[in-house]
A and B are shown apart, each in its own frame.
Chain A
Amino acid sequence: AQKVTQAQTEISVVEKEDVTLDCVYETRDTTYYLFWYKQPPSGELVFLIRRNSFDEQNEISGRYSWNFQKSTSSFNFTITASQVVDSAVYFCALSAYSGAGSYQLTFGKGTKLSVIP
């Protein structure tokens, strides 16, 4: 069975502060993908990043960076110099192939980030 845990339910930061959103996952599969999605107040789900289990390189995209560590089963997301527009619910998700045609994308419960001006 797959599981994604986002222990932080809500986080508030002041604008320009850095913030890290934690994600811990569980899977027995050796091949899997990890994702982050953003859900702004308007409600749509926006794809941010995909990382496969064989690529442990950290990734940076503008103010966003992701730290993938297989040793601790974590895939954390950092926003540098946060802005009010970053206020949203962020979901971490896992997709693993279990050999029986499993296609399920398992989501964490989300972390609500509020950036205060």
Chain B
Amino acid sequence: NAGVTQTPKFRVLKTGQSMTLLCAQDMNHEYMYWYRQDPGMGLRLIHYSVGEGTTAKGEVPDGYNVSRLKKQNFLLGLESAAPSQTSVYFCASEWNRDSPRSYEQYFGPGTRLTVT
């Protein structure tokens, strides 16, 4: 199993450009999450999905959109990048709440995004 993978690993954008980050998991997990990590801030939840075709806002959703068209993929989009979106982005996945291993989130390796 590859676990949780993220594409790309690094990206530099100019202000106003758009891009999509891809998260893929091969563990048949029901739930998926996008976080951002900033220095001294820990991780903060951007958006999440509790199943194919569903998405919901987290703590810091502004400036981002997401889609979950397939169970194994969760896309994070930046329509018009801003320097404040410079961060490390982590994707995570989790079994559903009926699983004995519920609440354990498994993280991808992260994407380092710089917006100039």
Residues of chain A whose beta carbon lies under 8 Å from any beta carbon of chain B: 4, 9, 33, 35, 37, 43-45, 47, 50, 91, 95, 101, 103-105, 107-110
Interface residues on B, range: 20 to 34
How many angstroms from the CA of A44 to the CA of B90 in the assembled complex? 9
B110 and A91: CB pair below 8 A?
Answer: no
Residue of A nearest to B40 (CB): A109
Q: A44-B107, A45-B43, A104-B58 are in contact. List 7 more A-B contacts (CB 8 A).
A: A44-B109, A47-B107, A103-B33, A103-B56, A104-B45, A105-B92, A110-B42
Of A4, A37, A105, the most chain B CB neighbours within 10 A belong to A105
Tell whether B113 is near chain A: CB-to-CB under 8 Å: no
Residues on the A chain within 8 Å of B98, using CB: none
A103 and B43: CB pair below 8 A?
Answer: no
Q: How far, in Å, is B83 (CB) from chain A's closest CB? A: 21
Residues on the B chain within 8 Å of A37, using CB: 107
A-B contact pairs, 21 of them (CB 8 A): A35-B103, A35-B104, A43-B88, A43-B109, A45-B90, A45-B92, A45-B107, A47-B107, A50-B103, A50-B104, A101-B50, A103-B33, A103-B56, A104-B45, A104-B59, A105-B45, A105-B105, A108-B42, A109-B40, A109-B42, A110-B42
Residues on the B chain within 8 Å of A101, using CB: 50
Q: How far, in Å, is B45 (CB) from chain A's closest CB? A: 5
A103 and B50: CB pair below 8 A?
Answer: yes
How many angstroms from the CA of A44 to the CA of B41 in the assembled complex? 16
How many angstroms from the CA of A43 to the CA of B33 in the assembled complex? 18
How many angstroms from the CA of A115 to the CA of B12 in the assembled complex? 33
Residues on the A chain within 8 Å of B88, using CB: 43
A47 and B59: CB pair below 8 A?
Answer: no
Give residues of chain B (45-102) contacting chain A, Cβ–Cβ below 8 Å: 45, 48, 50, 56, 58-59, 88, 90, 92
Residues on the A chain within 8 Å of B33, using CB: 103, 105
How many angstroms from the CA of A39 to the CA of B37 in the assembled complex? 12
Give residues of chain B (4-61) contacting chain A, Cβ–Cβ below 8 Å: 31, 33, 40-45, 48, 50, 56, 58-59
